[in-house]
A and B are shown apart, each in its own frame.
Chain A
């Protein structure tokens, strides 16, 4: 099998890599590009630990082939902060202890950021349903939901 050459944009930077036809985007991110913030929790699209944005759409990178990123834009947790400046959601997760072991956290942050960009004023129920694709075994979701709702309010206030 010959490896596939892919040119794509990751976190704003043009990136090239070679991948096997069967490699997932998650495999490529973790093993080829050393972007290990995206995690494999199930490899079946049920846990959301590998959530990334692909051309502005929230996807499980375990269900996308590496080759499919050709010519597209990928955003991962590593691109969420601007240099040293954390995204307000990241800051809120620290301020409110909305994480414990941290393994699901990158995926949840990516998903929550997408929610707030689509809906700056979600209800608690909307946040709970939006994040229902992201499993967290540690927190019981309570502090996550509160952090997302508080961030939404702060961002609306700042806007």
Chain B
């Protein structure tokens, strides 16, 4: 069937986008519209001495200026981190208070202290400039390693020494013993550069309080509107859940940055009640740079030991993670359960230990960004493996293959149980597609032109399909991570799927419809996907962690199982046959082996007219389901990058990028390719272009697109994307997830390729021409000295 599983169905959502008719939050127009602009701290750390609103309040068109004392006075709760991580000494994490509008202290440049509500956006922004805040500046620490030093400025009273937690996983004694017995130990210091997610649609909120109904509506740029409603209600006391509707309409990319519920959304809701106006706020790009949660920012040291045969004997990692000035919603889980649990990579490592210290700094809060912890783990493991291979004089692929896990399920020493995979198959497919055998000749040819060619590998694994609720609950998560779905078969036979997943570019309106079209053998145009509105969809945990396929679609399958069971009963009753003999095919519900059949629409009509249903059957044909996964899923694969470096300038060109992924079952290959492409582009961005930079005073240096280098069309090649899949045994469709793989797998492949080209393993991301040139010069000088 041309619209079922595996078909390259054209995206059904695209018509509205390519004609400019998408409806995003900033496109929403409401009656009684007013605009919010935030008064933000220009300094990274200070006591707030006073806020003088008088000049702003006198401006024509300014409706009100509200501050944090009013906000907390109205009972609006502090912003919380929803995952409790426990330090290795058993103590709970040290979470400092975070008010949506700061009252006593500001802790990073951009921290909001007040909000202006005015008749126009321009006026609101002008008036925000007129609010006079007196700051008493305090010493600043912007870097994680410095924040841990004795005498560093203290950011939160609740976190002595700026330490949020000191956490470990694995067995330190065994890892030490493994390293002691090694014949070779590779040691590296590895930094994972700080990034800004930068969805192209800035965050936006339109909040409306209806006094007559005592009810709030929030349009917002969210990846998970139900979670937003839950948190806004249960923790921030904005409104009880039944008095709050959250709508995430078309959303222009998320990448993690739109998971969290930020000060701005909370404040707009509260301000709409205070002013009795609909309040709209849309970030400008510079505001996005200082408010959207940043990603990554790890400093690690690692030791990996090998025996004479190249097998890993022990692996020990020590990481400092910068969480910024406040703990964002899932920040604590990223450098722990989403990072250290993946440090076994694709390898059979029996002796493994990781220690992670999370620290406060005077910077924007850091949380999950595409991959979230897993890119940091993959980068560390894969740089170690490639460097070790070079030190051992082995081929990088050979060293990896020697250590591959080949039997499943495989339990790692860092609490993951890999359920499936064929790492050899992905490695072989990537090597063939990249023509690795032809590389020496290409390198020689490049050398004749004065260029340096390099080849780099990355064999990544990730844990997706987030996540089994009881398991993550046991690890400190404050929520369950199931998904819900509802399948409504209408009286005319058309089908509506209501899902708690949220699409912000992933193409759910197409992919989700494909599994329904296949299951009920119905035309895809008769199936619609409803998402993103808490008044329409029963509940949902949203889209992040590559979970919408493995978890969201599994919930749809579960609801379809229930629908099918009822359809069989109705058909069996009306056709006077046994339920076991009923089949759904050709758009009809039939008695197998006979010409007795009912049209799909006739079943729908029968269910709703209820004139002739089996005894005791309820009318209607609508079923819902909650699906809680039994395990994470484990997408994996091999990426191979080939680069050419100009030794005179350090300029690096990616000449070929090859991916072989194992995503399990693929519903729509065209959409999956796009996910991989986009992920790789973000990974290449991290490896070569992007870095959030703070100065010693905590001033953000990279606050615009003139300073923060986004990957552009001219920076990237086309990608060679392939699949070698094993079916995931953990969910009904056999899916593993594809959303984050590219961003996880690609950075080490790029850096391994460049370090191969220049002959120096000591190269940090981003590999700008300057960094590459310096590393090459250092290697050349060292070689000359020898």
Q: Which one of A64-72, A134-142, A151-159 is at the interface?
A: A134-142
Q: Which one of B15-23, B349-357, B569-577 is at the interface?
A: B15-23
A36 within 8 A of B: yes
- Size bracket of the B interface: 35 or more
- Closest chain A residue, CB of each to CB of B21: A37
As a 0/1 sequence over residues 115 to 153 of chain A, the CB contacts with chain B under 8 angstroms (1 = contact) are: 000000000110111011111111111111110000000
Cα-based distance from A80 to B258 in the complex (angstroms): 31
The 20 listed contacts between A and B (C-beta, < 8 Å) are A30-B27, A36-B27, A37-B21, A39-B24, A39-B252, A42-B285, A44-B704, A47-B200, A86-B18, A100-B253, A102-B16, A102-B250, A102-B505, A104-B252, A128-B716, A129-B714, A132-B712, A132-B714, A135-B200, A142-B677
Contact of B20 among A76, A132, A144 (CB under 8 A): A76
CB neighbours (8 Å) of B677 from chain A are 139-143
B127 within 8 A of A: no
Given known A101-B251, A137-B253, A139-B677, contact A144–B201 (CB-CB < 8 A): no
CB neighbours (8 Å) of A96 from chain B are 670
Contact of A132 among B17, B679, B713 (CB under 8 A): B713
Given known A41-B285, A101-B199, A102-B252, contact A146–B718 (CB-CB < 8 A): yes
A109 within 8 A of B: yes
A25 within 8 A of B: no
| Known pairs A94-B11, A99-B18 / 13 extra A-B pairs, C-beta < 8 Å | A43-B285, A86-B18, A103-B22, A103-B200, A104-B200, A135-B712, A140-B674, A140-B678, A140-B680, A140-B682, A142-B677, A142-B718, A143-B677
Instruction: Check if B705 sits within 8 Å of A101, measured CB to CB.
Output: no
A33 within 8 A of B: no
CB neighbours (8 Å) of B716 from chain A are 128, 140-142
Instruction: Check if A134 sits within 8 Å of B252, measured CB to CB.
Output: no
A159: min CB distance to chain B, Å: 22
Cα-based distance from A36 to B716 in the complex (angstroms): 30
Cα-based distance from A139 to B710 in the complex (angstroms): 13
A81 within 8 A of B: yes
Near A by CB (< 8 A), chain B positions 6-57 give 10-11, 13-24, 26-27, 29
A58 within 8 A of B: no
Contact of B706 among A37, A44, A95, A132 (CB under 8 A): A44
Cα-based distance from A30 to B201 in the complex (angstroms): 15
Greatest chain A CB density within 10 A among B15, B26, B713, B719 is at B713
CB neighbours (8 Å) of A37 from chain B are 19-22
Near B by CB (< 8 A), chain A positions 26-45 give 30, 34-44
Contact of A127 among B255, B673, B679, B713 (CB under 8 A): B713
B507 within 8 A of A: yes
CB neighbours (8 Å) of B23 from chain A are 36
As a 0/1 sequence over residues 78 to 105 of chain A, the CB contacts with chain B under 8 angstroms (1 = contact) are: 1011000010001001111101111111
CB neighbours (8 Å) of A43 from chain B are 284-285
Cα-based distance from A39 to B711 in the complex (angstroms): 19
Instruction: Check if A135 sits within 8 Å of B710, measured CB to CB.
Output: yes
Interface secondary structure of B, over-half rule: loop
B125: min CB distance to chain A, Å: 11
B506 within 8 A of A: yes
Greatest chain B CB density within 10 A among A37, A102, A141 is at A102
Cα-based distance from A34 to B507 in the complex (angstroms): 26
- Size bracket of the A interface: 35 or more
A46 within 8 A of B: yes
Instruction: Check if B22 sits within 8 Å of A93, measured CB to CB.
Output: no
A49 within 8 A of B: yes
B70 within 8 A of A: no
Cα-based distance from A96 to B671 in the complex (angstroms): 9
CB neighbours (8 Å) of B253 from chain A are 100-101, 103, 137-138
B681 within 8 A of A: yes
Cα-based distance from A135 to B24 in the complex (angstroms): 18
A40: min CB distance to chain B, Å: 7
A68: min CB distance to chain B, Å: 17
Instruction: Check if A134 sits within 8 Å of B713, measured CB to CB.
Output: yes
CB neighbours (8 Å) of A95 from chain B are 10
Instruction: Check if B199 sits within 8 Å of A141, measured CB to CB.
Output: no
CB neighbours (8 Å) of A144 from chain B are 713
B202 within 8 A of A: yes
Instruction: Check if B14 sits within 8 Å of A102, measured CB to CB.
Output: yes
Give 8 closest A-B pairs by Cβ, nearest first: A37-B20, A102-B17, A103-B252, A140-B681, A101-B505, A100-B505, A46-B705, A140-B677
Near A by CB (< 8 A), chain B positions 661-683 give 670-671, 673-674, 677-682
CB neighbours (8 Å) of A97 from chain B are 10-11, 14, 507, 670-671, 673-674
A114 within 8 A of B: no
Cα-based distance from A114 to B202 in the complex (angstroms): 26
A77 within 8 A of B: yes
Cα-based distance from A100 to B739 in the complex (angstroms): 12
Instruction: Check if A94 sits within 8 Å of B122, measured CB to CB.
Output: no
Greatest chain B CB density within 10 A among A124, A128, A129 is at A128
Cα-based distance from A47 to B713 in the complex (angstroms): 12
CB neighbours (8 Å) of A100 from chain B are 253, 505-507, 674, 678
- Closest chain B residue, CB of each to CB of A96: B670
- Closest chain A residue, CB of each to CB of B683: A140
B504 within 8 A of A: yes
CB neighbours (8 Å) of B713 from chain A are 127-129, 131-132, 134, 136, 141, 144-145
Cα-based distance from A135 to B678 in the complex (angstroms): 12
Instruction: Check if A94 sits within 8 Å of B24, measured CB to CB.
Output: no
CB neighbours (8 Å) of B674 from chain A are 97, 100, 138-140, 142-143
Cα-based distance from A131 to B674 in the complex (angstroms): 18
CB neighbours (8 Å) of B507 from chain A are 97, 100
Contact of B17 among A46, A99, A129, A139 (CB under 8 A): A99
Instruction: Check if B200 sits within 8 Å of A109, measured CB to CB.
Output: no
Contact of B18 among A34, A93, A103, A136 (CB under 8 A): A93
B198 within 8 A of A: yes
Instruction: Check if A35 sits within 8 Å of B714, measured CB to CB.
Output: no
CB neighbours (8 Å) of B714 from chain A are 125, 128-129, 132
B692: min CB distance to chain A, Å: 15
Near A by CB (< 8 A), chain B positions 459-499 give none
Instruction: Check if A137 sits within 8 Å of B199, measured CB to CB.
Output: yes
CB neighbours (8 Å) of A140 from chain B are 674, 677-682, 711, 716, 719, 742
- Closest chain B residue, CB of each to CB of A46: B705
B3: min CB distance to chain A, Å: 15
Greatest chain B CB density within 10 A among A37, A105, A131, A138 is at A138
CB neighbours (8 Å) of A47 from chain B are 200, 285, 705
- Closest chain A residue, CB of each to CB of B24: A103
Cα-based distance from A40 to B27 in the complex (angstroms): 11
A15 within 8 A of B: no
Instruction: Check if B19 sits within 8 Å of A81, measured CB to CB.
Output: yes
